[in-house]
Amino acid sequence: MGEITDPTTAARILVIDDADDIHRLLKKKLEDEGYEVCSAYGGQEGIDSARRSLPSLILLDLTMPDVDGFEVLRDLKGDEATMHAPIILLSGSNETQDIIMGLELGAADFVKKPFDFAELRARVRSAIRIHKLLGLLAQRAQIDGLTGLWNRAYFDSRLESELSEASRTGAPLSLAMCDIDHFKAINDLYGHPAGDAVLEGFARLLIEELRKHDVACRYGGEEFAVIFANTSESDAARVLERIRERLEKQVWPNHPERSVTASFGLASADPTALDANALVGQADGALYRAKANGRNRLVRRAAS
């Protein structure tokens, strides 16, 4: 259903410094603390490495021969891919103006060389802890509170991202829109807790049946969306049929006499015209036909 960040994963630290002895010391000490350590020996190399490795923390020397540390800091904080990684500046200078400039440019902390490792370790731990907490808060803002699936805001950004990747690689991309049939009647007859149980139950089915790289979202109300990256329309249809059949057979404690079904509309991205609004519109159109033709069915865009 899409990957959720694991807060227990070892943090990756990028050290950008031109001194071999600093790298040897920090690599040994930080790896002993359980961190993954990457090394860059110059400013531009550090910028490139940060964009590739997306570290949890960057230790940045201010004085390097190729690119000034302040310029590296400006570049990293101006790039959407790296701007959220905390940066601790390392410097032999104790000039107040350097500290002020670094903090104003977005650095999280400043440590003077030669540093005491116990102090640096405490500052590293603090910066990484705050980074993880902010990441969890940002992630929570993209998760639907009832179902635990990704929400509409995440769907919109993720679909654009997947379409961009499909455009770059030529890989297939399919999109399904799903709607619980007669959902209002369930709420009216059995109450909103019963309706919530249906939404939660359908979300669980999606999580169980979808692959790790499929992205399930609550689109709004009783409507859901599934992004099938690198998946043909036919392969996505087989997965959706399993979900539809399992939902139809499920027995609900609040209304065991009444089954619940869903309708599905499926479309695949046109490689010659990758457009998010068009793809959503096509999947929605297929969903509309599924509802109009009797519900509890899957309709593909190509269907008449």
**pLDDT tens per residue, the chain (304 residues)?**
444 444 445 799 999 999 999 999 999 999 999 999 999 999 999 999 999 999 999 999 998 888 889 999 999 999 888 998 999 999 887 788 988 999 999 999 999 988 899 999 999 999 999 988 888 887 788 999 999 999 999 999 999 999 988 988 899 999 999 999 999 999 999 999 999 999 999 999 999 999 989 999 999 999 999 999 999 999 999 999 999 999 999 999 999 999 999 999 999 998 777 789 999 999 999 999 999 999 999 999 854 3
Number of domains in the chain: 2
Residues 162 and 290 in one domain: yes
Closest by Cα among 37, 53, 56 to 45: 53
Residue 116 lies in a domain: yes
- In whole angstroms, give the CA distance from residue 99 to residue 84: 20
According to DSSP, the residues that pair with 19 across neighbouring strands are none
Shared-domain flag, residues 183 and 276: yes
Q: Are residues 47 and 118 in the same domain?
A: yes
Specify whether 168 is located in the same domain as 249.
yes
Instruction: Indicate whether 114 and 85 sit together in one domain.
Output: yes
Is 126 part of a structural domain of the chain?
A: yes
Residue 251 lies in a domain: yes
Query: Quick one: which of 56, 52, 34 has its CA closest to 44?
Result: 52
3-state secondary structure of 303: coil
Q: Residue 302's pLDDT is what?
A: 55
Handedness of CA 198, 199, 201, 202 (dihedral sign): positive
Whichever domain contains 74, its CATH number is 3.40.50.2300
The structure's pTM equals 0.65
- Same structural domain for residues 63 and 164? no
End-of-domain residue from the set 95, 119, 140: 140
Alpha carbon distance 90, 93 (integer Å): 9
- Residue at 75 is within a domain: yes
CB atoms within 10 A of CB 122: 11
Q: Is residue 84 part of a domain?
A: yes
**Does 19 lie in the same domain as 123?**
yes
Q: What is the pLDDT of residue 9?
A: 57
Nearest of 81, 65, 215, 71 to residue 149 by alpha carbon: 215
Q: Is residue 6 part of a domain?
A: no
Which CATH number does the domain housing residue 177 bear? 3.30.70.270
Examine the fold and report which residue of 105, 140, 175 is the final residue of a domain before the chain moves on. 140
Q: Are residues 157 and 136 in the same domain?
A: no
189 in the same domain as 111: no
Q: What torsion do the CA atoms of 127, 140, 173, 274 make, to the nearest 10 degrees? A: -80
140, 166, 197 — which closes off a domain?
140
17 and 38 in a common domain: yes
4, part of any domain: no
Q: 27 lies in a domain?
A: yes
The verdict on whether omega for the bond into residue 114 sits within 30 degrees of 0, i.e. cis, is yes
Please tell me whether residues 124 and 180 are part of one structural domain: no
pLDDT at 303: 42
If asked whether residues 102 and 158 sit together in one domain, one would say no
Domain that holds residue 172: 152-300
